Amino acid sequence: MDADAQRRTSKTRRSSTEKAAAKVAFNPATDPPFLNANQAWVDSVFNTLSPEERIAQLIMIPVYSNKDQAHIDSVSRLVTKYKVGGLIFFQGGPVRQAHMTNRYQKESKVPLMVSIDGEWGLAMRLDSTIKFPYQMALGGIEDESLIYEMGAEIARQCRRLGIHVNFAPVVDVNNNANNPVIGFRSFGEDKYNVTRKAMAYMRGMQDEKVLANAKHFPGHGDTNVDSHYGLPVIHFSKLRLDSVELYPFRQLMKNGLGSLMVAHMNIPVLDNTDSLASTLSKPIVTDLLKKEMGYKGLVFTDALNMQGVAKFYAPGIVDVKALLAGNDMLLNTMDVKTTIEEIKKAIANGEITQEEVDARARKVLAAKQWLGLDRYKPIETENLIEDLNNPHAKYLNQKLVEESLTLLRNKQNILPVQNIDTLKVAALAIGTKKETDFQRGLARYTKVDTFFLTPTASIAELMALKEKLQDYNLIVAGVHKLNLKAGSSSFGITAEMNLFLKDLIRSKPTIVGVFGNVYSLAELESLDKADAVIAAYQETPETQDLTAQMIFGGIGAKGKLPVTINNAFKINDGLQTNGGLRFAYTMPEAVGLKTKDFAGIDSLVAQAMEQKATPGAQVLVAKDGKVIYHKAYGFHTYDNERPVQVTDLYDLASVTKISTSLAAFMKLSGEGRFDVDRTLGDYLPIVEGSNKENLKYRDILTHQAGLKAWIPFWKETVKKNGKFKWATFKTDSSRRFPIKVANNLYIHRKYCNKIIKAIVKSPLNEKPGYVYSDLSFILAPMVVQNITGENFETYLKENIYQPIGATTLTFNPYKYYAPERIVPTEYEPHFRKQLLHTTVHDEGAAMLGGVSGHAGLFGNSNDVAKLMQLYLNDGKFAGETYIAGNTVSRFSKCQFCDQGNYRALGFDRPAKPGEQNSNAAPSAPVQSFGHSGFTGTYTWVDPVNNLVYVFLSNRVNPTRENPMLSKLNTRTNVLQVVYDAIEKSKKVQQ
């Protein structure tokens, strides 16, 4: 054995002995986790490396998955020729990055340490991934376990994509509102809050075997220069640094911080060398960080191509200076060849020893072993996008946003908004002219009209908008498209925006949601005078959606301001409100169920559409007052031209019965004005002396009063030659023919009297027992009007629909909605001879002018669900009672089960327990109730499982002769998927 070999062997033995001693002393609570790495693997790999390759282990090069093949190949050459130690990925996409990573790992002699800047998750760099909230928003969250779980989820996503180091969290204490580089990236200005949040984030990541990285040492929070473009100079004392900026670093170091990043800042109090960045300062990196503070983890430079250092030193030169300062890992080395050569020169010159380089290389290898690179496996690209966008992550993101939203003003407890039927609401988008997610979110709760104010609106435009808003008694304003970074532009808030908002706040009840950097609140004049102010921290679909939910009480306000904005909005400000007043819109995970267990719904609806059972559908499921599934499928018709939206209106057919007649009867019953044990004759004088006078409503509503199923009224209007009788219909409206039946078809103004007389004169069934009948429900509007003195439609809208925000529930939707929002039904060849679009499908309801108690109501699934939730809550909604006296509970019970009639009062119910019945899902409990409609509609209420279900379709398009939806049992089978999901969750809990 030669002398060199002996030296190498003794060095290996010594290193092993030192490592063994270190292993004994390893403290998992305080030490970086990789210090406990498997030394045998580290030794075996290290002993294969040449001196140059050990230097290369300290180099991390930038890679982009959105660049061309030349870039991809150039990275490959650096990996194969120089054996670099790691990669930092920047912009691109997950699948492309995975393919590149697999290639480079295959080509690399030593497995590569792969890193990313993912402060708010992979979306900071990669498309098709989840964007978690900025750290400033997280700073407003009280529940740090959510931040821990975010760290863990980001780590799981990193591992799935072959990433080992995430350059997060930012632990800079942002105590300078004009900071152009940190700002929204910080947890806030309070060092204790910053530390708690950063600790949770760090632990979450490292518990899932991704190295956390605290940045930017020794603290980048109080600067007004962006180190990407220049070198910030920090002019405060060491005492201040020690007590504020270094505090979070010190605390994380005591708790196992795996790595940190050194910032590019000039700090004269620590190193007074002119224009020298802290990254290149030995007094800062070696003396302060490693010696004085005793940090043992991996020390990364900030990117060495940033102007904070690059403007002073050439590539390769800056890298060696960073290594000499004490950094372990050189980030964004732009000239690998020169860097290795310059470091070799520094070793030869005695500026640094080979042993020091070797020790850092071993440190990197130890981190790689802890990260699992000794058992490297290629990334599986199948299902990669789905895995990175998993439901748990989406729901976690929703929870983080929900908990961060900060309510800063709430005068006279305007939030959550009450008494919506007394309000005319304008949703104003400031800063954009396109409909926003915020406006769409507000519209789920009640009718809102949308308006827009561009940043540079002229005086004339401002005046015209002001005039348009005069009639509204509540303005909900969203401030959008703000600049993210602090600077001279006031975040993009213009004088015009300020002028208008200031005047609006002074003249109208105004709620303002600010979707941008929280420091922008200081630029909005008179904002503190608004009736309500919500800081949402950033503009995403989630922040806008959940802010709308907070305004209407779907969720509560919980966040606290993590910074002081001005005298009006100070740190820790944040008012609380309660959620659960109205629907929250969320995911199955919110009620302990799994999104994956709802996948069968898609399959069943797809099957129905493939087999031409219906061209499209809406499905809504609400549990525990939360809408956990709401989806639109297919198209309005089979021409596939207009996709179904969740806001589109369907013809509800017989669901009308429980949504109109029964709603009114139950309300009146709760007020003691209607009694099911009284007769039709008691409420409707026109039937006195007829065979219907003494029919009890208990029998009528359970369809056992002996009424005929239906009467084809329209056939009486047709002559033998197929044309309409002269005094029945005309193609144009007139004083005598004012009532629209369908397009270009108007009925005589008094023809409804003939329909009523026909019902009154109709014979009863010869045999007693259950026969489902429309006839009593056709008479219901007259009964309600006799009791209340009000028009049937007006009574329903004013007393039920508008107060609960079910504003699309309407007869004759053509009067209120664009045809594009109304789903057509049948091409009806016998009576109306046209595609029925915007007018009711049912012939009888059509001849009554579209208003009846048995059919004629239109609406979307969201608003049907609100009415069903009112029923589920036994007449209560949003803290108000609309149907008193436990009336819904009484009406929804089986009335004559002992006689074989399993219907409730007006409601359908499951068949005899144990029997399969197409009216209900097999697992629907006996206490559940609902109704179906001829057009392909269905709704079900389950008080046992606190469930509301709505299925809307137009299965009669193009013809009613299509029974496929019923044959497939699509409507009840979809509900069974929900019951199966509930059952699975119970088994998991057991």
- Tell whether the model's pLDDT for residue 911 goes beyond 50: yes
Same domain for 120 and 62, yes or no, is: yes
Q: What pLDDT sits at residue 222?
A: 78
**Does some domain include residue 8?**
no
What residues does 618 pair with on adjacent strands?
632, 952
**pLDDT tens digits, residue range 117-158?**
999 999 999 999 999 999 999 999 999 999 999 999 999 999
Lowest mean pLDDT among 307-316, 347-356, 603-612, 800-809: 307-316
Q: What pLDDT sits at residue 1?
A: 43
Q: What pLDDT sits at residue 451?
A: 98
Q: Which of 333, 354, 387 is the last residue of a domain?
A: 387
* Residues near 585 by beta carbon (within 8 Å), at least 6 away in sequence: 441, 444, 545, 549, 554, 626, 627, 630
What residues does 623 pair with on adjacent strands?
626, 947
Please, how many CA atoms are within 13 Å of residue 732, restricted to the half-sphere of its CB? 1
What mean pLDDT do residues 563-576 have?
97
- Tell whether the model's pLDDT for residue 18 goes beyond 70: no
**Does some domain include residue 977?**
yes
**Does some domain include residue 276?**
yes
Same domain for 274 and 356, yes or no, is: yes
Please, how many CA atoms are within 13 Å of residue 240, restricted to the half-sphere of its CB? 12
Q: What pLDDT sits at residue 488?
A: 66
CA distance 911 to 922: 10
Same domain for 577 and 605, yes or no, is: no
Same domain for 383 and 412, yes or no, is: no
Same domain for 533 and 612, yes or no, is: no
Same domain for 171 and 306, yes or no, is: yes
pLDDT confidence tier of residue 977, bands split at 50, 70 and 90: very high
Cβ–Cβ under 8 Å, residues 361 and 46? yes
What mean pLDDT do residues 18-32 have?
69
**pLDDT tens digits, residue range 927-939?**
999 999 999 999 9
pLDDT confidence tier of residue 542, bands split at 50, 70 and 90: very high
H-helix or E-strand spanning residue 941: strand 937-942
Cβ–Cβ under 8 Å, residues 879 and 418? yes
* Residues near 833 by beta carbon (within 8 Å), at least 6 away in sequence: none
**Does some domain include residue 198?**
yes
pLDDT confidence tier of residue 485, bands split at 50, 70 and 90: confident
**pLDDT tens digits, residue range 886-896?**
999 999 999 99
Same domain for 791 and 857, yes or no, is: yes
Same domain for 364 and 482, yes or no, is: no
Q: Which of 352, 387, 422 is the last residue of a domain?
A: 387
**pLDDT tens digits, residue range 316-369?**
999 999 999 999 999 999 999 999 999 999 999 999 999 999 999 999 999 999
**Does some domain include residue 866?**
yes
Find the CATH number of the domain harbouring 107.
3.20.20.300
CA distance 480 to 466: 19
The mean pLDDT of the chain is 95
**Does some domain include residue 392?**
no
What mean pLDDT do residues 547-576 have?
98
Same domain for 145 and 63, yes or no, is: yes
What mean pLDDT do residues 48-53 have?
98
What mean pLDDT do residues 256-281 have?
94
H-helix or E-strand spanning residue 348: helix 336-348
Residue with tokens 């005068």: 411
What mean pLDDT do residues 502-529 have?
97
pLDDT confidence tier of residue 16, bands split at 50, 70 and 90: very low
Is pLDDT larger for residue 627 or for residue 181?
627
Q: What pLDDT sits at residue 913?
A: 60
CA distance 923 to 901: 20
- Tell whether the model's pLDDT for residue 11 goes beyond 70: no
CA distance 599 to 589: 14
pLDDT confidence tier of residue 7, bands split at 50, 70 and 90: very low
Q: Which of 521, 555, 582 is the last residue of a domain?
A: 582
What mean pLDDT do residues 19-38 have?
78
- Tell whether the model's pLDDT for residue 2 goes beyond 70: no
Same domain for 524 and 614, yes or no, is: no
What mean pLDDT do residues 254-272 have?
95
Find the CATH number of the domain harbouring 727.
3.40.710.10
CA distance 707 to 687: 13
Crossing angle of helices 144-160 and 391-404, in 10° steps, is 150
Total domains present in the chain? 3
* pTM attached to this predicted model: 0.95
Same domain for 632 and 573, yes or no, is: no
Domain that holds residue 562: 405-582
Q: What pLDDT sits at residue 914?
A: 56
- Tell whether the model's pLDDT for residue 17 goes beyond 70: no
Cβ–Cβ under 8 Å, residues 186 and 170? yes
**Does some domain include residue 971?**
yes
Find the CATH number of the domain harbouring 409.
3.40.50.1700
| DSSP, residue by residue, 25-62 | H--TTTS-GGGG--HHHHHHHHTT--HHHHHHTTEEEE
**pLDDT tens digits, residue range 358-417?**
999 999 999 999 999 999 999 999 999 999 999 999 999 999 999 999 999 999 999 999
**Does some domain include residue 688?**
yes
pLDDT confidence tier of residue 917, bands split at 50, 70 and 90: low
Same domain for 725 and 787, yes or no, is: yes
